[in-house]
Amino acid sequence: MDLTEEQRAFVSAIETFCGRECGTREQRDALTGRGAESHNDALYRKMADLGWLGVHVDPEYGGAGGSMVDLMLFLEHTARGMAPIGGFATTMIAAAAYARFGTPQQKATILGGVVNGAVESIAMSEPEAGSDVASLSCRATRVDGGYVINGQKTWCSNAHIADHILLVARTGAAPGGHQGMTMFMVPTDAPGLEIRGIETMGGREVNDLFFTDCLLPESAVVGEVDNGWRQLMAGLNLERLMLGGLMLGSAQRAFDDTLGYVTQRKQFGKPVGSFQVLRHRIADLATEIECSRLLVYDVAAKVDADPQRMLPREASMVKLKVTETAKRMALEGMQMMGGYGYAREFDMEMHVRRTVVSTIYGGTNEIQRDIIGKTYGL
């Protein structure tokens, strides 16, 4: 990768920050409640003060207006530094929808908030509508002056720490089709909304949402009524690229930790990494990570060259390849570390918990394979 001098300085600053603020296990445990939380607001706002959270936000709203490559650099290197800023990815995915389709007031509220450290969330999945988004049934019924929301959403990342939820609800046709969906901007303190956490392997990350006669004003509509599916599709490049950038950093950190261990750990009088079986594993994993890095930044560069271009094949390839590589790296790292990889004393067990779910969220990798196949006419 041929980075500019400014980009290299940006990466160096991120590495220095992460080393200082969350470089030790003790620091990370203190910031996350020993891994129970994935987001630390105080650390996040320090990044806001540095202007980093607005790396890909229009300068009109106080952002840096950086490229997609710049955003990938931020994601990769904060993930590699294990910075507990789990709210950032959903924030940027939601912010992108507001940037494209929001009203001037919505843009000012959301994008300005992002730059200053606000967290945003997005709600699509339902108990009976995960990969099959067309089956969602949470309904927004039109009333005088607005809409009343009733229904349930699930697996909603970061709703418990967000200021708003970008809700996708059905306003038109019956479940089973892509028509009749609408996006809404819902404050997390809205009457009629209950946010209930779901405990997971990764700690507190996702939530069930229950809407009971939740009244929203007309101004809560984001974009066009009944056109939410097209608006969702417009954001797929960013969502899948962001997941790729995050998991690239996680894969690299798991590799770094594994390499450090097999270099120092001795058996039979020499480092275990010198044994051919581990040396070859390390070689294969390093190659897979480098392939993943090249794919992430190549697709990011394509987006920068034409931000309006849809890249369903390439974006799905990023999500598929990088998340599978990250999961494999963490599991292989645990195996190479033996019992120490399983112990809470080391970070490897956290790498495993954080990467195994990456092949599920953001569209399962089975769905990504299906999308890629369809782009070849299959």
- Just list the catalytic residues: 239
Residue among 117, 103, 12, 24 nearest 63 (CA)? 117
**Which helix H or strand E contains 145, and what residues bound it?**
none
Write the CA distances from 134 to 56, 100, 192, 250, integer angstroms.
30, 22, 25, 32
User: Which residue type sits at 25?
Assistant: R
Residue 199 CB contacts under 8 Å (≥ 6 apart), including other chains: none
- Cα distance between residue 327 and residue 206, in whole Å: 20
- Cα distance between residue 5 and residue 305, in whole Å: 20
First to last CA, the chain: 33
- Exposure class string for 79-103: b at 16+ Cβ within 10 A, else e: bbbbbbbbbbbbbbbbbbbbbbbbe
